[in-house]
């Protein structure tokens, strides 16, 4: 099979035709160091566009800043950036914007840690299975993937809670999804705009304003007593 060249920069080897082959490639030295390349439902999706500073970058930082102390107290490991999760059940290998996985899930092998190729102690490069939380922030080049293709793949992988956030337009969209019978179900929004999280057992409100210089600024507000569905 011929090698696939994307944008004259990303070479996808011709033998990457299965999830197993993609995972092997994604953890190899030949895998591109820039951009996001996911396997979703037997298709390779390449996004080489730069991350938008104020509708993606600072937003992701605000989310991690609020979740970090909660994660520490509840025994979750919190990841952002190039953290790859893979799932045979979900036919998936992707790098979400934010991931939270509990020590309990790792200790019981519900989520497995893939060791680094060199085999060094305490060095891991991938999560295999369904973590408790996955957050995706929509970008211009990832609308279809984030809204249509990734959610069912994350559900099949066993992800407990899925957040979808879109800050590109005049209205900020943040929807927390819990697991339903056949897919993710949006959480009911309370009168105060809050949504409940079963993973963190609290409520969240994502607020966007502008700083003193007119640039977008975000706060993920934690509510101790959320409205329940």
What secondary structure letter does DSSP report for 213?
T
d(C-alpha 145, C-alpha 73), whole Å: 32
CA 172 to chain centre: 18
Question: Are 80 and 60 a contacting pair, CB within 8 Å?
Answer: yes
Single pTM value for the model:
0.92
Token pair for residue 5?
A: 């060249």
- Average pLDDT taken over every residue of the chain: 92
At residue 165's C-alpha, the angle toward residues 163 and 167, to 5°, is 170
pLDDT at res. 82: 86
222 has which bridge partners? Answer: 204
Predicted pLDDT at 1: 43
Query: Percentage of the chain with pLDDT > 70?
Result: 93
Q: pLDDT tens, 70-128?
A: 999 999 999 998 899 999 999 999 999 999 999 999 999 999 999 998 889 999 999 99
Integer-rounded Cα Rg, in Å, for the chain is 18
Question: Mind listing the domains of the chain with CATH numbers?
Answer: 4-47 (no CATH), 53-87+95-223 (3.90.1570.20)
Q: CA geometry: angle at 68 spanning 63 and 71, to 5°? A: 115
Identify the residue with better confidence: 154 or 34: 154
CA–CA separation, 68 vs 206, rounded Å? 15
Tens-digit pLDDT profile for residues 145-166: 999 999 999 999 999 999 999 9
**Rounded to the nearest 5 degrees, what angle is found at the Cα of 57, between the Cα atoms of 73 and 101?**
30
Report helix, strand or coil for 67. Answer: helix
Q: Who has greater pLDDT, 33 or 21?
A: 21
């Amino acid at each position: 099979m011929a090698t696939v060249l994307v944008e004259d920069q990303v070479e996808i080897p011709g033998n990457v035709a299965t999830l197993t082959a993609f995972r092997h490639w994604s953890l190899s030295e030949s895998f591109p160091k820039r951009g996001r390349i996911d396997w979703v439902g037997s298709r390779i999706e390449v996004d080489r566009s730069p991350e938008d500073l104020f509708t993606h970058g600072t937003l992701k930082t605000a989310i991690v800043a609020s979740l970090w102390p909660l994660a520490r107290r509840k025994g979750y490991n919190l990841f952002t950036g190039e953290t790859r999760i893979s799932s045979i059940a979900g036919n998936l290998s992707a790098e979400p914007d934010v991931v939270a996985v509990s020590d309990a899930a790792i200790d019981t092998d519900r989520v497995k840690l893939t060791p680094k190729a060199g085999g060094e102690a305490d060095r891991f490069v991938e999560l295999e299975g369904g973590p408790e939380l996955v957050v995706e922030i929509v970008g211009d080049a990832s609308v279809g993937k984030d809204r249509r293709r990734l959610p069912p793949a994350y559900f099949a992988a066993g992800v407990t809670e899925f957040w979808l956030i879109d800050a590109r337009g005049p209205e900020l969209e943040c929807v927390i999804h819990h697991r339903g019978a056949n897919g993710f179900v949006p959480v009911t929004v309370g009168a105060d705009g809050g949504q409940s999280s079963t993973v963190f057992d609290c409520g969240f409100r994502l607020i966007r304003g502008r700083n003193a210089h007119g640039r977008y600024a975000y706060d993920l507000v934690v509510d101790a007593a959320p409205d329940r569905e």
